[in-house]
A and B are shown apart, each in its own frame.
Chain A
């Protein structure tokens, strides 16, 4: 069965520092992977997605993620954090049984210190 694990419910970084949000998945079929961001009191917005093309995926707002099959990981990074990056981030994997359904991780809240 497919599953997603996000390590760290809260991550705190200083403004300008590297952002690293971790996501590990398990999937019995080649996965499609997504990162979504949720700003306070809003819905989820797509940051980026891996759909079996390039393993390094670039998204909006300077974020990128690398698909590593050997590590079953899809970690999200940004070289330099900005105050506006403070939000909750969700990793998701497509379900094997029905590809248009997604399984979401429990989320990681990113705090950016001035």
Chain B
């Protein structure tokens, strides 16, 4: 079974802090993704990575950056946390390819509260 883990289930941070969210997958997947989930909006893609050190912006990258130094690990960074970044953050991974291969596997999520 694919396992995707996230470093924290719950985080509370203050406005202006730098925040690191870590994600690790154990199935040698090429692709990794960061989403945020907000009520009524579904999942929105922040960034994704298709290889080590490779990244592309998703639909809502403003205020975020990412790092992928190793294939199994993908970090999301909030450079200066703001209250509008309070949300549930979900990490996912998938193999390279379409359809069957493109199935995404999700971590348990990190619920972030910015005060």
Contacts and interface: CB of A to CB of B under 8 A. Distances in A.
A106 B92 CA distance: 18
Interface stretch (B12-20, B40-48, B66-74, B76-84): B40-48
Q: Which size bracket describes the interface of B in this complex?
A: 20 to 34
Select the residue from A42, A43, A90 with max chain B CB neighbours within 10 A.
A43
Interface string A82-114: 000000001000100001111011110000000
A34 interface: yes
A90 B18 CA distance: 31
Given A44-B106, A45-B106, A105-B42, A100 B98 contact: yes
Contact of B102 (A43, A94, A107): A94
Interface in B58-115: 58, 90, 92, 94, 96-109, 111
Given A9-B40, A100-B98, A101-B48, A34 B103 contact: yes
B98 A99 contact: yes
A35 to B, nearest CB: 12
A43 B90 contact: yes
B103 A49 contact: yes
B31 interface: yes
A106 B40 contact: yes
A14 interface: no
Interface of A: 9, 32, 34, 36, 41-46, 49, 51-52, 90, 94, 99-102, 104-107
Given A32-B99, A100-B102, A104-B35, 15 more contacts: A32-B102, A34-B104, A43-B90, A43-B106, A45-B106, A46-B104, A46-B105, A49-B100, A99-B99, A100-B98, A100-B101, A102-B104, A104-B42, A106-B40, A106-B42
